């Protein structure tokens, strides 16, 4: 090994190996060498790559294929039921209104319940979707090791390959990460990177911070380290919808484009306990009138505009929006401006929501 003048405080010559305080510094290839591909460098000349195909979505605009999505919310809102419902749509390739879904095999990774309860819930949701029995395509596994362990990482990777799994649903992320400190950046980055190593689409169910649970849940954050949100490529907040059984899926992060519009779902549990139906309703539906209580301020203004317009069937004055929302004129004008083409402003200073028919 050649020891260069770096140890004497001099600049080492190009392409030599320098040794300092026991550290080995490998030679740095010149830009010309990299461009000509003359070295063993792992760097990729990105400008030489053909343009890739458009981004694939497992659920259009909501769940990006091959990446981590976190669906989070307070307890008792039906997060597991909603994810089972989404999982059944994926397993069968059954589209949602306005959202195309790609058919894939699904693995339910359960850290909270047991096999019997998971099967009960699957049967209930399947009946609610009109099936006489659960369709094929959803597998179940209850790990003995926590998320982040090398043993579990290998076990899941093997089962994914063996069964052609392309969607993993984790119930839930914080419970599964019991051996890690949810508030520590290093622990969460390592754990989430181990999940990414599976190389498939993942939806991780998670909880919200304790401080947010009793307040406006529209401002809730994912429990633990902010690096959970940083590493996830899509995050979805589940909040109460104002009416019994109504919940709202609020798309709070999308690394690959605009966030999807709010998705309003109604969960109905039949008295026999054998069926759970989940259906999508419009944001202008009267049952969604109180949903703004657990939304960010801009969404509260939007919901107030929709509901007031629906009730009066006429453009909404600024004074009415101020009265309904309790917000200042300047703040409302700012939010309406941010909503862009969703809001039609008339010459007389009134507003109309631009709703899809």
The answer to whether the bond into 172 is cis (omega within 30° of 0) is yes
Average pLDDT, integer, range 320-347:
89
pLDDT of res. 37? 55
Does some domain include residue 45?
Answer: no
pLDDT digits (tens, 9 = 90+) for 150-202: 999 999 999 999 999 999 999 999 999 999 998 899 999 999 999 999 999 99
Task: Tell how strand 246-254 and strand 263-269 pair up.
Answer: antiparallel
348 and 265, same domain (yes or no): no
Average pLDDT, integer, range 298-327:
87
Contact 24, 17 (CB under 8 A): yes
88-118 burial, b at 16+ Cβ within 10 Å, e below that, comes to bbbbbeeebeebebbebbbbbbbbeeeeeeb
pLDDT grade, residue 29 (50/70/90)?
A: low
Does some domain include residue 3?
Answer: yes
pLDDT digits (tens, 9 = 90+) for 228-278: 999 999 999 999 987 889 999 999 999 999 889 889 999 999 999 999 999
Nearest to 238 by CA among 287, 168, 295: 295
pLDDT of res. 357? 36
Examine the fold and report which residue of 288, 317, 338 is the final residue of a domain before the chain moves on: 288
pLDDT digits (tens, 9 = 90+) for 135-151: 999 999 999 999 999 99
pLDDT over threshold 90, residue 292? no
pLDDT of res. 214? 61
pLDDT over threshold 70, residue 356? no
Does some domain include residue 44?
Answer: no
pLDDT over threshold 60, residue 85? yes
Examine the fold and report which residue of 288, 309, 328 is the final residue of a domain before the chain moves on: 288
Q: How confident is the prediction for the chain on average, in pLDDT?
A: 87
Q: Phi/psi of residue 4, each to 5°?
A: -95, 180
Distances (CA, A) of 247 to 75, 239, 240: 12, 6, 5
173 and 26, same domain (yes or no): no
pLDDT grade, residue 33 (50/70/90)?
A: low
Does some domain include residue 161?
Answer: yes
State what percent of residues in the chain have pLDDT above 70.
87
pLDDT of res. 211? 61
pLDDT digits (tens, 9 = 90+) for 124-133: 999 999 999 9
280 and 213, same domain (yes or no): yes
208 and 256, same domain (yes or no): yes
Does some domain include residue 224?
Answer: yes
Q: At 108, list the tokens.
A: 């339910």
pLDDT of res. 335? 87
Please give the residue range of the domain that contains residue 301.
Answer: 296-353
Does some domain include residue 15?
Answer: yes
Sign of CA dihedral 90, 91, 97, 101: positive
106 and 235, same domain (yes or no): yes
pLDDT over threshold 50, residue 4? no
pLDDT of res. 103? 95
Name which residue leads in pLDDT, 326 or 214. Answer: 326
311, exposed or middle or buried, with CB in 10 Å at 0-12, 13-18, 19+?
Answer: exposed
320 and 284, same domain (yes or no): no
Query: Rounded to two decimals, what is the model's pTM?
Result: 0.80
pLDDT of res. 39? 60
118 and 138, same domain (yes or no): yes
pLDDT over threshold 60, residue 12? no
Average pLDDT, integer, range 16-33:
51
322 and 255, same domain (yes or no): no
Distances (CA, A) of 1 to 6, 18, 20: 14, 9, 13
Average pLDDT, integer, range 72-96:
95
Examine the fold and report which residue of 259, 288, 317 is the final residue of a domain before the chain moves on: 288
Does some domain include residue 46?
Answer: no
Calculate the dihedral angle through the C-alpha atoms of 170, 175, 181, 187, rounding to the nearest 10 degrees. -20
pLDDT over threshold 50, residue 14? no
State what percent of residues in the chain have pLDDT above 90.
62
pLDDT of res. 331? 87
Give the CATH number, domain containing residue 303: 1.10.10.10
114 and 190, same domain (yes or no): yes
pLDDT over threshold 80, residue 73? yes
pLDDT of res. 6? 46
301 and 273, same domain (yes or no): no
State how many domains the chain has: 3
Does some domain include residue 41?
Answer: no
243 and 213, same domain (yes or no): yes
Alpha-carbon span 105 to 204, nearest angstrom? 16
pLDDT of res. 28? 53
276 and 305, same domain (yes or no): no
Give the CATH number, domain containing residue 170: 3.40.50.300
CA end-to-end span of the chain, whole Å? 74
């Amino acid at each position: 090994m050649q020891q260069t003048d770096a140890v004497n405080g001099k600049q080492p010559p190009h392409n030599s190996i320098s040794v300092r305080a026991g550290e080995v510094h490998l030679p740095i290839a010149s830009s010309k060498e990299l461009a000509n591909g003359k070295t063993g460098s792992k760097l990729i000349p990105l400008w030489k790559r053909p343009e890739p195909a458009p981004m694939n979505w497992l659920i259009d605009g909501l769940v990006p294929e091959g990446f981590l999505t976190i669906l989070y919310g307070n307890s008792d809102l039906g997060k597991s039921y909603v994810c089972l419902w989404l999982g059944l749509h994926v397993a069968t390739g059954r589209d949602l209104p306005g959202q195309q879904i790609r058919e894939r095999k699904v693995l339910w990774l359960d850290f909270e319940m047991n096999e019997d309860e998971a099967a009960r819930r699957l049967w209930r949701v399947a009946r609610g979707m009109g099936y006489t029995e659960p369709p094929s395509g959803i597998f179940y596994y209850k790990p003995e090791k926590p998320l982040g362990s090398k043993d579990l990482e290998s076990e899941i990777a093997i089962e994914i390959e063996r069964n052609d799994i392309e969607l993993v649903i984790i119930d839930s992320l914080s419970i599964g990460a019991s051996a890690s400190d949810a508030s520590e950046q290093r622990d969460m980055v390592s754990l989430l990177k181990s999940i990414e190593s599976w190389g498939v689409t993942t939806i991780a169910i998670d909880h919200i911070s304790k401080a947010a649970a009793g307040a406006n849940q529209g401002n809730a954050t994912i429990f633990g380290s902010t690096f959970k949100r940083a590493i996830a490529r899509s995050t979805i907040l589940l909040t109460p919808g104002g009416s019994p059984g109504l919940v709202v899926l609020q798309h709070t992060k999308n690394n690959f484009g605009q966030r999807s519009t709010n998705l309003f779902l109604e969960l109905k549990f039949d008295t026999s306990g054998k069926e759970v139906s989940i259906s999508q309703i419009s944001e202008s539906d009267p049952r969604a009138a109180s949903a703004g209580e657990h939304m960010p301020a801009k969404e509260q203004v939007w919901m107030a505009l929709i509901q007031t317009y629906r009730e009066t069937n006429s453009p909404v004055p600024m004074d009415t929006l101020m009265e309904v929302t309790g917000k200042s004129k300047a703040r409302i004008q700012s939010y309406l401006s941010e909503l862009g083409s969703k809001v039609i402003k008339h010459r007389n200073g009134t507003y109309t929501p631009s709703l899809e028919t």
